[in-house]
């Protein structure tokens, strides 16, 4: 298991994790054991395997190097039993970091190469979550379904529909709570994904997006004005645009901040303060998230420790407590939160000069 951090005060904070990917968070031990079991290990030792799974010193600052680390986990996560097993271990690790509300996210389509249907690729994760929840009855866990931007808007619509079929609002047990798009922002602008977001919203799913990680503030404007998201993953480039910061604060659009990952992918320059400080100054709701515990070599405890130069543990505890309100899990029977109600995609496009 990963080191659990060194600061006792931080370890004791009850944490809320709103942005964590399944693929990038499988403990190295677990990937190694599954690789060995199936005779797939490309290297002879666990230590060598770890280098392939965890971003190494000297590999920081480039998104492509970061994304390369997702290659090997996908060799094993094409099979129902493996997927539910790795999910269970990710929840175990979060629990050890005192995470008591966990939203995992996952792109089902990249888990269908061995023949799983999209629906099975989603329900395998839910099975793992349910098994973990039996062990930790006080923990809340939900799943956000991701469509990959580079696969285009039509595939995103299909994924939104598949996500609805397992929506929490339709089931008594754990289900899909939200919809997200991820992957390269450049060349795949948010505005093209309006229909998939509308399908997800009408199906009772909450909306978030990876935006402002490798694109400027325009990408975030499109996400709020055209897609109607209530949360933004990363959102780093928002600090370049004061009007946008004010808007995010006014509408209480939450930014899911992932400090370590942001430095590793180059979204924030090494040496610069993390944008979370600006977001806090403007009164924008924020959450402290890991993104990918394995690829980023981090944990919830470590992400909080990383912010120690600027924030006291008591302030971080307040952030976690406040984040709870923005969790998609908490709207079990109701419609998604009404923050997007004012959004009229055509008006949004006109305002942004896109039509």
The residues binding Zn ion (CB under 5 A) are: 291
- Pairing relation of β-strands 254-257 and 99-106? unpaired
Cα pseudo-dihedral 241, 326, 289, 28, rounded to 10: -140
CA distances 231 to 32, 74, 228, 242, Å, are: 34, 27, 9, 18
Instruction: Look at the chain and count its residues.
Output: 355
Nearer to Zn ion, 214 or 291 (CB): 291
* Minimum CB distance to Zn ion, residue 20 (Å): 8
The distance of closest approach from Cβ of residue 234 to Zn ion in the complex, given in angstroms and rounded to an integer, is 7
Nearer Cβ to Zn ion (142/313)? 142
Kindly state the smallest distance separating residue 94's Cβ from Zn ion, in Å.
15
**What is the CB-side half-sphere exposure of residue 233 using CA atoms within 13 A?**
28
Terminal Cα distance for the chain, rounded: 51
**Which of 82/293 has CB closer to Zn ion?**
293
Report the nearest approach of Zn ion to the CB of residue 147 (Å).
13
DSSP notation for 105-139: EE-GGGG-TTS--HHHHHHHHHHHHHHHHHH-TT-
Q: Judged by CB, which is closer to Zn ion: 183, or 216?
A: 183
Q: Residue 18: phi, psi to the nearest 5?
A: -110, -5
Nearer to Zn ion by Cβ, of 222 and 291: the residue is 291
**Which residue has the closest beta carbon to Zn ion?**
291
In a 3-state reduction of DSSP, which class is residue 253?
coil
CB of 110 to Zn ion, least distance (A): 14
How many CB atoms neighbour CB 325 within 10 A?
A: 12
Give 166 or 291: the residue with its C-beta nearer to Zn ion: 291
CA distance 249 to 231: 12
Q: How far is the CB of 181 from Zn ion (least distance, A)?
A: 11
Q: How near is the Cβ of 333 to Zn ion at its closest, in Å?
A: 28
Distances (CA, A) of 250 to 72, 208, 240, 331, 338: 42, 17, 17, 22, 14
- Least distance (Å) from Zn ion to the CB of residue 182? 6
Q: What are phi and psi of 122, to 5 degrees?
A: -80, -45
Checking 277-282 for CB contacts under 8 A at 24+ apart, the result is 277/310, 278/239, 278/245, 279/235, 279/238, 279/239, 279/245, 279/248, 279/255, 282/245, 282/246, 282/248, 282/249
Closest CA to 185 of 157, 222, 226: 222
Q: Residue 292 CB, nearest distance to Zn ion (Å)?
A: 7
Nearer Cβ to Zn ion, position 93 or 291?
A: 291
Query: At closest approach, how far in Å is the CB of 354 from Zn ion?
Result: 25
């Amino acid at each position: 298991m990963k080191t659990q951090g060194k600061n006792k005060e931080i370890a004791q904070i009850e944490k809320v994790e709103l942005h964590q990917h399944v693929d990038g968070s499988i403990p190295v031990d677990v990937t190694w054991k599954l690789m060995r079991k199936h005779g797939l290990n490309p290297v002879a030792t666990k230590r060598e395997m770890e280098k392939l799974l965890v971003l190494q010193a000297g590999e920081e600052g480039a998104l492509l190097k970061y994304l390369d680390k997702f290659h090997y986990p996908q060799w094993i996560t094409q099979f129902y039993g493996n997927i539910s097993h790795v999910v269970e271990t990710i929840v175990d690790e979060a629990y050890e970091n005192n995470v008591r509300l966990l939203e995992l996210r996952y792109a089902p389509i990249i888990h269908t190469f061995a023949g799983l249907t999209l629906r099975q690729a989603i329900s395998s994760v839910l099975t793992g979550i349910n098994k973990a929840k039996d062990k930790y009855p006080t923990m809340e866990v939900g799943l956000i379904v991701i469509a990959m931007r580079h696969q285009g808007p039509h595939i995103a619509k299909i994924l939104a529909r598949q996500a609805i079929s397992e929506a929490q609002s339709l089931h008594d047990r754990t289900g899909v709570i939200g919809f997200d798009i991820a992957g390269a922002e450049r060349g795949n602008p948010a505005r093209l994904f309006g229909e998939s977001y509308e399908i997800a919203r009408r199906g009772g799913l909450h909306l978030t997006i990876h935006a402002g990680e490798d694109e400027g503030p325009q990408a975030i404007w499109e996400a709020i004005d055209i897609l109607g998201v209530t949360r933004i993953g990363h959102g780093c480039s928002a600090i370049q645009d004061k009007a946008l910061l004010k808007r995010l604060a006014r509408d209480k659009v939450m930014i899911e901040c992932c400090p370590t990952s942001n430095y590793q992918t180059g979204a924030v320059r090494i040496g610069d303060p993390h944008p979370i400080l600006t977001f806090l100054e403007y009164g924008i709701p924020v959450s402290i998230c890991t993104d990918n515990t394995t690829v980023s070599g981090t944990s919830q405890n470590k992400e909080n420790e990383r912010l120690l130069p600027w924030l006291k543990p008591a302030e971080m505890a307040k952030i976690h407590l406040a984040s709870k309100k923005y969790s998609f899990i908490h709207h079990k029977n109701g419609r998604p939160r009404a923050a997007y109600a004012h959004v009229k995609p055509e008006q949004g496009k006109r305002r942004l000069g896109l039509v």
